[in-house]
Amino acid sequence: MRIVCPHCGERPVDEFVPYGAAGLKRPDASASTSDWLDYVYLRDNKAGMHGELFYHVGGCRAWLIVTRDTRTHAIAEVVAARDQRDAAR
């Protein structure tokens, strides 16, 4: 699999470190133990398009949101996480 970094261009996937699902909402510090257990351990793992965080450790060191199909690994979109965060403000 190759990822097209918005800063570095097309790069091999081994330059990136996957972090997990993009868009997860971290519970408040005062949340219950059950809420924290759900956040840390439970994931839906749905088939289809899914946004994931990747860190470009072997290149620009930017955080990216990669939208890919979990059934085929086909990548639909790659955006800098910073750009997406700024657009949401």
Q: Is the pLDDT of residue 89 over 80?
A: no
Structure tokens at 70: 């979990």
Judge whether 65 lies within some domain. Answer: yes
Judge whether 35 lies within some domain. Answer: no
Q: Which residues pair with 44 in a beta bridge?
A: none
pLDDT at 23: 83
Residue 45: phi, psi to the nearest 5? 55, 50
Judge whether 66 lies within some domain. Answer: yes
Judge whether 36 lies within some domain. Answer: no
Report the C-alpha gap between 18 and 89 in whole angstroms.
25
CATH at 54: 3.30.2270.10
Q: Is the pLDDT of residue 86 over 80?
A: no
pLDDT tens-digit readout, 24-82 = 889 999 999 999 999 999 888 889 999 999 999 999 999 999 999 999 999 999 999 98
Residue 62, classed as helix, strand or coil, is coil
Judge whether 34 lies within some domain. Answer: no
Task: Tell me which residue range forms the domain holding 82.
Answer: 2-24+49-88
Query: Is the separation of the CB atoms in 65 and 55 below 8 Å?
Result: no
HEC secondary structure over 16-50: CEEEEECCCCCCCCCCCHHHHHHHHHCCCCCCCEE
Q: How many domains does the chain have?
A: 1
Judge whether 69 lies within some domain. Answer: yes
pLDDT at 5: 97
Judge whether 32 lies within some domain. Answer: no
